[in-house]
Structure 1
């Protein structure tokens, strides 16, 4: 039987619907928003606003629980909170719950099969955990105060400043890069109680300022260092009930190996296949825009080689993410408050042309906790 013309007329709409991708965005003015990226003819894309909700505080980080379609939002405000938001496949957002938490949270992660959430609090030197699900009366399962023996060489190293929580590939450990103490703190996970127990720390060179980390398999860890403006490669060994990290390589993130300009702050590092990308904030390599550095990885030795530096499409790329397919990268430029989507070559790992950009909310100010804070693929 010949398909009807009506069906043929619906096919472009259906294909467009299937190909559209949602992007979640948080802004320091207290909002969480969804955008929809839709491919059009000739390899072009359109980026449109979808749903916005106001949750208050200073949303700083998004953790995406894809199977349950829940966003977990950290709050960097002085009166902190954790907020959960459900996301429909159409990009619609609905606040699910919110509870009070210590202030200054800059990152969180789910662990123990999604039964718990761990947050780090930069300004108050804390690591907290909560049992899920949350209610308005939820209180921390743990509130761990981090300490350090002496002031570091950098003026920002006056106290412990944990900046991320990273679960290792085995799901048995949580790692916390501490910018203030020049440590990568390591905790074991009790899967039955959800409690974290310190099993030691990896001591970094004074003044390094470890900020973010990403595993490459379960034998290599890459760490982005905000104060040294470098990315370090560590070999990973599971010994004595803990993790031992051994530094194997360090590289700066500027084209040609040049020194980072004054004011530059390396941001995040992400791994996809045999490549990593590192964000450079305030380097102005593509004035007035900042940059993204791509490294290729030797699949045998994990050695990294800088292969390209490209524009971030704005100023102060606080967060970014590679989609699962590896062919697109979304970048959240904090100060210019714009979401940028760029092509990525899956074979070379190199970032290509910008295909979409959108301003979100009000622009920020250099070195201030305002503007756009986080981006995340619905992937």
Structure 2
């Protein structure tokens, strides 16, 4: 190897090792902020705010990143139209608004289809699902609207008085869209029959009062899913479904359910605890769920994250409940190398970053850093083609 190659490699390694990680945090107060997290800095310099925008007001409660585009919701109140906005992520991590489109009121989640030409929103209070055609540069055009009503309230009438779609995600094939509907006790299924539109298929029923909020497919990185995990906000349970693909349909068989508190008792409140986010580790060996309003941690001052071991047959074994660094962990995400977990605690208005140990899946008992962010709702790592030494 030439001296020039050696110096170039050394410089690249030094740059990679010293580069901070970027975290985007959407807030129920309307802001989206970018932060630099430097794990090599001292305790006073771990978290640095880089930029902020309020163009997704009044409530930027969800964002999804696709390439160098960040798509955000404006979670409006009914009957005000919801808005989906596309931003380009600049080199300085500032967000540059590129386009927006209106849809059903109160969008709370966004999914992006294979190839980036389809954006799907789930609207909780608005009771609907919308699709948008995306041009890949930030331009958005509203395509479809699916509106849902219920014949009668569900068994939890104060939360299931109507349909409440809560998430939109693609399956690993990119051919199907999944939308858990908390109000209807169903997981709605759609076929992405073109690059910009979807077609509704037979939905997946969950037990009455389960309140499906979010879902994730297993295993990680496979071209097809064998299983799907669904977290029930109202039942505080994780339901495991066996997935099959046949004749243009995605089918799911309910095979198991475990408490989001594992082997520990479910707190009674008030307020009653409500499960929120669900995620798999990058290697697919561990599953995590956030519990809101349980206050089982830090002498009753913090809520929890539950950790489960995932076996190849999708069986879950409880490992631990750990502190989330605040109250009401609405969302969290894990870095690609599996070393860090960022948690958005909207109840206490802060972001906490915890060390994660990939060898056993556990999360540290104390955050390495916590910073105030009023209404913090969604914390998403931005790691485009990044390798950490």
TM-score of the alignment, normalized to the shorter chain, above 0.5: yes
SS at match of 2:46: strand
1:372 alignment partner, one of 356, 369, 376: 376
TM-score w.r.t. structure 1 length? 0.89
Mapped partners of 1:348, 1:214: distance in 2 = 21
Question: Counterpart of 2:222?
Answer: none
Say yes or no: does 1:267 pair with 2:276. Answer: yes
- Once residues 12 and 176 of structure 1 are traced to their aligned partners in structure 2, the CA distance between those partners, rounded to angstroms, is 42
Which of residues 312, 329, 333 is equivalent to 1:317? Answer: 329
* CA drift at 1:70: 1.0
1:98 offset after TM fit, Å?
2.4
Query: Which residues in structure 2 correspond to 1:37-116 (within 5 Å)?
Result: 37-40=37-40, 46-55=46-55, 56-65=57-66, 67=67, 69-78=68-77, 79=80, 80-116=82-118
SS at match of 2:184: coil
Distance 1:270 1:136 in 2: 27
How has the CA–CA distance of structure 1 residues 42 and 255 changed in structure 2, closer, same or farther, with 3 Å as cutoff? Answer: farther
What's the counterpart of residue 184 of structure 1?
A: 187
Contact 1:100–1:136 (Cα < 8 Å) also in 2: no
Q: Cα RMSD (Å) of the superposition?
A: 2.4
Alignment of 1:299-338 (within 5 A): 299=312, 301-338=313-350
Cα distance change, pair 248–45 in 1 and its aligned pair in 2 (3 A): farther
Question: Unaligned regions of 5+ residues in structure 1, if any?
Answer: 363-370
Corresponding position: 1:20 with 2:20? yes
1:97: how far off? 2.1
User: What 5-or-longer segments of structure 2 have no aligned partner?
Assistant: 220-224, 384-389
2:348 counterpart SS class? coil
Of 354, 357, 360 in structure 2, the residue corresponding to residue 342 of structure 1 is 354
310-319 or 25-34, larger mean C-alpha shift: 25-34
Q: Is residue 2:229 matched to residue 1:222?
A: yes
Determine whether 1:354 maps to 2:367: yes
Task: State the aligned residue count.
Answer: 359
Matched residue, 2:33: 33
Q: Give the equivalent residue in structure 2 for 1:367.
A: none
